[in-house]
Structure 1
Amino acid sequence: MKNKSERFIYIKNHDVTTIIINHEYSRSYEPMEKAVKTDFFSMDRRTFLKVVGAIGASAFLGLHQTEITKALELSKTKIIWLHGAECTGCSESFIDAANPDVVQAINKLSVEIVYHETLLAQQGIFVNGSPANTSELNSEMLLDEAIEEGGYVLVVEGSIPNGPEGSGKYLMIGERTFKEIFGKAAQNAAFIVAVGACAAYGGITCGDSDIVDLTDFRGVAFQKEDPSKGMLKELNIDKPVINIAGCPAHPDWVMLTLAAAILGKIDVNSLDGVVDEYNRPLVFFPAGNTMHDNCPRRGYYDTGRLDTDFAGPQCLLKVGCKGPYTRSDCGLRKWNGGVSMCTQAGSPCISCCEPGFPDSASPFYQMPEGQPLMASASAGTIAKVGAGVAALGVTAHAARRIVFNKDEEKKQE
């Protein structure tokens, strides 16, 4: 049975129909429908963030295609996309986006990706240790020329090694360290978007190991939860940074963040109220909600039915799901064109959107005993007592969310 406060919103635009499920924190169908139909240019920031958070990249770019085209017909936003220590998974996620696909999004947003190692045709050509030929063929020259021109958005994927001993030589591109390349690109950028857990917080490259201090991988503005150890701080560079967490990052999170900044719907130089304490956009990583809140298996948790092995249909808490500790809208937005998500496909959430990942979520497939879940309940308590405690936790959690959302609305008014 549906919750009485739950609403289904159908937004049809040409061949795209978006279905939104708004739970108790959404008022009703009418306000969102009105906001969606509002002229793009008359939207205030609050309305804009609500709409893009709810309807996703495809519906937003489709609904407002005409207005976006008019706004950008005389402009061109340049993007330099750098790859540090990473697996290119975030680029693959971005490229695999559908409705719109990456080419459609680039065209609609009037974006020019000047440099992206995975996509560009140029090569790094050296003769006697020096770059040769021209920027039309040589990627090293292309990058240097683009940095020299300035006025671009810098997207960083992957972490930046500071070791050994501050040299950055654990990642060399051609004759230069990635630390040096990043520093030059960051200095001339309008603002920086760190895409994925590695660029945002160091990610897997910062995981606990015998060599972690020697390699000293850093995120752009953070090393795990520590902002004093971000690479920008190391290089004494002050630039606005938006962190798109995740391993990989959802293409909607990347596209809509870039769209909001390019279209002037967020002021990158004044991000208060737009990002959280870890520079994540609140619209995708809400402070008052977790991935667990909208998990398709949530009903099993509420009644205390927890799987003890993989491949079962019930709540995955006892096999290591970290959904209750993870801020993300995965449960609503889903992945692969809105088809599925980790817990729906049978995998516990590994909390890849949190700045302490992977250490804070390790071991991935074991329940974190004693760590508080919602109100006063813990994973161990719920596992032992079952449905009664689960129901109590849910009631307390719902009350906390109502209070939180009322407080948030007062702040935004």
Structure 2
Amino acid sequence: MGNILIHFNDNSYWDDHLSEESTDSGSTANDLDFLRMDWHKFLKARRSGGGFKLLESYMNDNPGDHDFPETRVLWIQGAQCTGCSESLLDASNPALLKAFEILNIDLKRHEAFLAHQGLFVDGEPANTSELNSEILLDEISEQGNYILMVEGAIANGPDGSGKYFMSGNRSSKEMFKKAAQNADLIIAVGTCAAYGGINTADSDIVNILDYRGVAFTKKDPSKGMLNLLGIDKPVINIPGCPPHPDWIIYTLSAIISGNVKIPDDLPEVLDKFGRPKVFFPPDHNVHKDCPRKEFFDNKEFDTCVGGEKCLLKMGCQAFLAHADCALRKWNDGHSYCVQAGSPCIACVEPDFPDNTRPLYSSKKNRKRKEADQ
């Protein structure tokens, strides 16, 4: 069994320091299993970073070497497609249930995973928390001492009521307010929860629906739901449409292991949009490690799907995407969007999808003025 000890920090290791010569025989990282994060370039990047504290997984025969106290997790869903939860189920090293076992996580509530139901009589929740997830939400929220994980954007419309998204007899805004008030930490899972995502895409009805992210709406923290409700809580954003399961599990690991202190360490380990810099490096973008980069350098471009050349003319926005997708890869480290032939749509960025519309086209609604920032 692998016990996960994780550190977040920022460093310029994502710059062009990934050469084969960048080694340090004294580094213990080379002797450790990084849960197969890939990954010779990633390990060499860690070694070239010197004092950089990266994600480190120590393999121990004795699972009791790190006897973590139980961590209660409350997961609520707003306007979403359940894709973030589905992505989490794809975790492979370790698998999701194994990670929860290692970290001693008690998932108290998840509408999709735990098949909860809501029972109402005369508009009020009925029965007990064992059979009624609405009562369960109330009980957990009142007890406190949990990490709140939010998937999906939170409706504020119409007219501040939040009733454009209802779950059972409650709005997602009401559910979020109740759950957020006594949470120790809030983790916004996916771009919809972090920044509003597709729900806040420019349209004729976007202001009427008025969907919000947890702490941001797009790039604006003043429009986050927490600010609107007057609730002050530490927040970690893990964007992506969907996010990589590693980003979610390793973030939980960093917190539970105590390697990231909440809230003291957050200003150091998060970027200006609340993302862990180790996964979403401000000084690095997906383009820099693209397997098709040589075609970009040679100005060789594909104009239809199925080719092997650069996808820039098909609308690839890897220049704008600050994430480690090209190194980490997906589906147990086998591939990722661009490698599989799909242009990057920069889904980890706060202004997605407006920053990349129309998708799969080089004719964008905005210039690449943020490229390489």
Q: TM-score range by the shorter chain?
A: 0.7 to 0.9
Match of 1:320 in 2: 315
Question: What SS is found at the alignment partner of 1:273?
Answer: helix
Alignment correspondent of 1:371: 368
Answer yes or no: is the 8 Å Cα contact 1:11–1:19 preserved in 2.
no
Q: What is aligned with 1:392?
A: none
Using structure 2 for the length normalisation, give the TM-score: 0.86
Q: Which of 137, 144, 156 is 2:131 aligned to?
A: 137
Q: Deviations over 1:201-222 (max 9, x none)?
A: 0000001111100000000000
Tell me the residue number matched to 1:20.
39
Q: 1:338 to 1:6 in 2, by over 3 A?
A: farther
Note closer, same or farther for the CA distance 1:288–1:365 as it changes in structure 2 (3 Å cut): same
Task: List per-residue Cα deviations over 1:299-349 (Å, max 9, x = no partner).
Answer: 211222221222110110111000011100000000011010000100000
Q: How far apart in 2 are the matches of 1:211 and 1:280?
A: 28
On the 8 A contact 2:36/2:333 being kept in 1, the answer is no
Question: Counterpart of 2:7?
Answer: none
- Checking the alignment, whether the CA contact within 8 Å between 1:93 and 1:251 is kept in structure 2 is yes
Contact 1:79 1:113 (C-alpha < 8 Å) held by counterparts: yes
Q: Residue in 1 aligned with 2:224?
A: 230
How many matched pairs?
Answer: 349
Corresponding residue for residue 282 of structure 1: 277
**Could you tell me which residue of structure 1 aligns to residue 336 of structure 2?**
341
Counterpart of 1:221?
Answer: 215
Q: Alpha-carbon deviation of 1:266?
A: 0.9
Q: Percent identity?
A: 48
1:51 maps to which residue?
Answer: 55
AA matched with 1:147: S
Cα shift at 1:145 = 0.7
Tell me by how many angstroms 1:96 deviates: 1.7
Which of 1 and 2 has greater Rg? 1
In structure 2, relative to structure 1, the CA distance for the partners of 1:102 and 1:296 (3 Å cut) is: same
| DSSP-derived class of the 1:325 partner | coil
Find the counterpart in structure 2 of residue 301 from structure 1. 296
The answer as to 2:153 corresponding to 1:159 is yes
Residue 115 in structure 1 maps to residue 109 in structure 2: yes
Q: Quick one: distance in 2 between partners of 1:91 and 1:121?
A: 13
Deviations along 1:183-228, one digit per CA (max 9) or x if unpaired, are 1110100010000000000000001111100000000000001110
Equivalent residue of 2:131, what SS? coil
Equivalent of 2:185 in 153, 167, 191? 191
Distance 1:97 1:17 in 2: 12
Displacement after TM superposition at 1:63 (Å): 2.3
Q: CA deviation at 1:141?
A: 1.1
For residues 23 and 130 of structure 1, do their structure 2 counterparts lie closer, same or farther at Cα, with a shift above 3 Å needed? closer
- Structure 1 residues 129 and 112, CA, compared in 2 at 3 Å: closer, same or farther? same
Change (3 A) 1:146 1:70: farther
The answer on whether the counterparts of 1:11 and 1:18 sit within 8 Å (CA) in structure 2 is no
CA separation of 1:257 and 1:12: change in aligned 2, threshold 3 A: closer
Residue 275 of structure 1 aligns with an amino acid whose one-letter code is L
Question: 34, 59, 65: which one pairs with 1:63?
Answer: 59
Residue of structure 2 in register with 1:206 after alignment: 200
Task: Tell whether the 8 Å contact from 2:30 to 2:43 is kept in structure 1 after alignment.
Answer: no
Query: Which whole-Å CA distance do the structure 2 matches of 1:102 and 1:24 have between them?
Result: 23
Q: Cα gap change, 1:130/1:372 in structure 2, threshold over 3 Å: closer, same or farther?
A: closer
**Distance in 2 (alpha carbons) for counterparts of 1:93 and 1:373:** 28
Report the alpha carbon displacement of residue 181 of structure 1 after superposing the two structures with TM.
Answer: 1.0
Q: Which amino acid in structure 1 is aligned with residue 39 of structure 2?
A: I
Cα distance between partner residues in 2 of 1:18 and 1:208: 36
**CA distance 1:149–1:27, change in 2 (3 Å):** closer
Shift of 1:175: 2.0
Matching residue of 1:410: none
2: distance between equivalents of 1:72 and 1:160? Answer: 36
The residue number in structure 2 matching 1:253 is 247
**C-alpha root-mean-square deviation of aligned residues, in Å?**
2.7
Q: Which runs of 5+ in 2 are unaligned?
A: 1-17
2:90 alignment partner in structure 1: 96
The residue aligned with 1:411 is: none
| 3-state SS of 1:265 partner | coil
Quick one: which amino acid aligns to residue 21 of structure 1? H
Q: Whose RCO is larger (CA < 8 A, sep 6+)?
A: 2
Q: Is the 8 A contact 2:120 2:169 kept in 1?
A: no
TM-score under structure 1 length normalisation: 0.78
1:333-412 mapped onto 2 (5 Å cutoff) = 333-367=328-362, 368=364, 371-372=368-369
Alignment partner of 1:128 is 2:148: no
What per-residue deviation string (whole Å, max 9, x for no partner) do you get for residues 83-124 of structure 1?
000000000000121121111010000000000001114421
For 1:182 and 1:370, the matched residues in 2 are separated by: 36
Deviation at 1:47, TM superposition (A): 4.8
Change (3 A) 1:359 1:19: closer
Counterpart code for 1:319: M
Contact persistence 1:10–1:18 (CA under 8 A):
no
Residue identity matched to 2:301: L
